[in-house]
Structure formats: structure tokens, C-alpha cells
Structure 1
Amino acid sequence: MSYASARDIFPEDILEIIQQYIEGEYIYIPKKEENKKPWGELTKSKLELQARNKRIYEGYLSGLSTTSLAERYYLSPKSIQRIIYQKKNE
């Protein structure tokens, strides 16, 4: 996310209206709903987490304990249990 000067973006009359509500501060203008992308769509994060969770579940099925999986993947035992539960129900 980058910042831009409102003076460079808005016409003077709109800038004056905005200044009635806020001036000299940073504001975030969210994207329109139809322009939003689902989480992980722009990076490989979603695919990497899915692959990791698959490996965790396979480790569980092969007999590894939730504690050892938690240590191996640097997650809490509760997180490992949640991943196993989700994978069982897929």
C-alpha cells in the first residue's frame, strides 16, 4: 500500500469537503467489494498452507503425535488438532 497526496488526487472542491471531516491525517480508502481478491490469491501463501496442512495430516495418519507435529511445524498443539479435524472432514 502506498500513500498519495489528496491534493494530487481530488479536485479542490472535493478536497475541501474531505477537510471538513479530517485534515492532516492519514486515511484508508477501502476497495470496492467487487474489486477485492480472496486472501492468498495474489501470492502462493494459500497453496503453501494447504500443502503444509496436508503434510501435517499425513504425519498424523502415519502415527506422529500432535505434540511432535506441533514441535516440527512450530505450531501449538491446538492448531495441529484444528488442522487434523479440518482435514478429516474434507
Structure 2
Amino acid sequence: MKYRKAESVLPQELLEQIQQYIQGEYVYIPNKKGMKKAWGEKTGTRHYIAERNVGIKKQYYKGKKCEELAMEYHLSLASIRKIVYGNK
């Protein structure tokens, strides 16, 4: 979560109204419903992991063993099996 100064993003009138209720404290303003991003969307992690998993599946189907993939990708054998035997 990123903190921003209220005076740099809110109109002065709104800032003064908020100050009637709270001053000098942190206030969390949630996203609107339906606007929340899924895990990893903002940083690209979701995309990176999806591409990695495709690569793991390709190597497995070319004959590489799960144990070798686990060592190569620094993942547990159980994680590799979930990737390989999961969604095909």
C-alpha cells in the first residue's frame, strides 16, 4: 500500500471536511467494488508465474523428470507435480 499526502490529491474543501472528523492520523480508503486487482496483477508476478509454469509443462512433456524440474526451478516436488498434472 502506498501512502500519499492528502493535500496533494484531495481538493481543499474536501480535506477541510475530513479534518472535522480526523486529524494527523492515517485513513485507509478502500477501492471501489469491482476495482480491486487480483494478486500479482500490479507487479506482473502473476504473468511471470504463468509463463514459468508453461515452460515447466513443456519441459515435462519433452521428457524431463519432475525431480529434475524441481531442482532446476527450486520448487518442491509436490509443486512441480501440481503444475504438471494440474490444469492441462
Into which bin does the TM-score normalised by the smaller protein fall?
Answer: 0.5 to 0.7
Quick one: which amino acid aligns to residue 11 of structure 1?
L
Per-residue displacement from partner, 1:42-89 (whole Å, max 9, x unpaired)? Answer: 55433332221111112222222222111111212221111112233x
Q: Among the aligned pairs, what percent are the same residue?
A: 37
In the alignment, what sits opposite 1:70? 70
Q: Report the structure, 1 or 2, having the larger helix content.
A: 1
Question: What residue ranges of structure 2 are gaps of 5+ in the alignment?
Answer: none
When residues 25 and 71 of structure 1 are mapped into structure 2, their CA distance, relative to the original with a 3 A threshold, is farther
Runs of 4 or more, structure 1, over 3 Å off, are 37-47
> 2:41·2:47 contact (CA, 8 Å) conserved in 1?
no
Output the CA distance in 1 between the equivalents of 2:42 and 2:83.
23
The aligned length equals: 82
CA distance in 1, matches of 2:35, 2:50: 25
Q: Alpha carbon RMSD of aligned pairs, Å?
A: 2.5
Corresponding position of 1:14:
18
Match status 1:2 vs 2:3: yes
